[in-house]
Amino acid sequence: MKNMLKLGCTLAFYATIACVGLAFVYSGTRTVIEERQEADLKAALADLFSGMDGFSDVTAEVESPANAIVFQTVYVVKKANVVLGLAVQATGPSYGGPIKVLTGVGVDGKITRVKILEHTDTPGLGANAASPTYYVDKVKKITFTGQFSGKSVSEPFEVKHDIAAITASTITSRGVANVVKASADAAATYLK
């Protein structure tokens, strides 16, 4: 009994030391982490809208038109205080689980660019959706996400109709297309 009490106190002491140490490390690196996240966000938005120099969060003002698709963040992107468009970060169902997509929609009602941020789809199959070397049109060197650029938000975004599917990954292709379509529709509504 004495040994168990001694071991329990020793374990509690080390656990307390570990928690305090972790708290100090977190408080010391929190600012750096937040700055890094802000820089990553700016870089991602600059990929969607070249020349952008500012953005503001309007997530509370934009609703997803589809129950299965959740909007994490929505930003109005600007250049010299002129609105360029909306960037929508949304998650929807895919083959391997949720897929997180960042979609840019310009004020002209066209998709500027699509980026897949996170996915858990099968490597070599559904994961090709995010691959910069997998082409749905090898002659023109158009990637899966690249085919969305320039499309009007009024298009249907249907796989095997106006969206080329990833070979052997129709569910992933539909998942991405559904997230992009919901993001595009919501952005177009907001921009009107």
The tens digit of pLDDT for each residue in 133-170 reads 999 999 999 999 999 999 999 999 999 999 999 988 99
User: Are 44 and 81 in a shared domain?
Assistant: no
User: Are 74 and 10 in a shared domain?
Assistant: no
pLDDT of residue 41 exceeding 90: no
User: Are 85 and 119 in a shared domain?
Assistant: yes
Query: What is the identity of the amino acid at 146?
Result: G
User: Are 57 and 44 in a shared domain?
Assistant: no
CA proximity to 48, closest of 98, 117, 131: 117
Count other Cβ atoms within 10 Å, centred on residue 21. 10
What domain range includes position 150? Answer: 51-191
DSSP state of 168: T
CB 119 within 8 A of CB 130: yes
User: Are 168 and 90 in a shared domain?
Assistant: yes
CB 123 within 8 A of CB 163: no
Mean pLDDT rounded to a whole number for the chain: 93
The per-residue pLDDT for range 89-143, each reduced to its tens digit, is: 999 999 999 999 999 999 999 999 999 999 998 888 889 999 999 999 999 999 9
User: Are 147 and 124 in a shared domain?
Assistant: yes
pLDDT of residue 47 exceeding 90: yes
The per-residue pLDDT for range 2-39, each reduced to its tens digit, is: 888 888 889 999 999 999 888 888 888 988 888 888 88
User: Are 64 and 156 in a shared domain?
Assistant: yes
How many structural domains comprise the chain? 2
CB 75 within 8 A of CB 56: yes
User: Are 130 and 165 in a shared domain?
Assistant: yes
User: Are 82 and 109 in a shared domain?
Assistant: yes
User: Are 169 and 133 in a shared domain?
Assistant: yes
Q: How confident is the model at residue 186 (pLDDT cuts 50, 70, 90)?
A: very high
State which H helix or E strand residue 44 sits in: helix 2-48
User: Are 134 and 185 in a shared domain?
Assistant: yes
Q: How confident is the model at residue 189 (pLDDT cuts 50, 70, 90)?
A: very high
- Whole-model pTM: value is 0.83
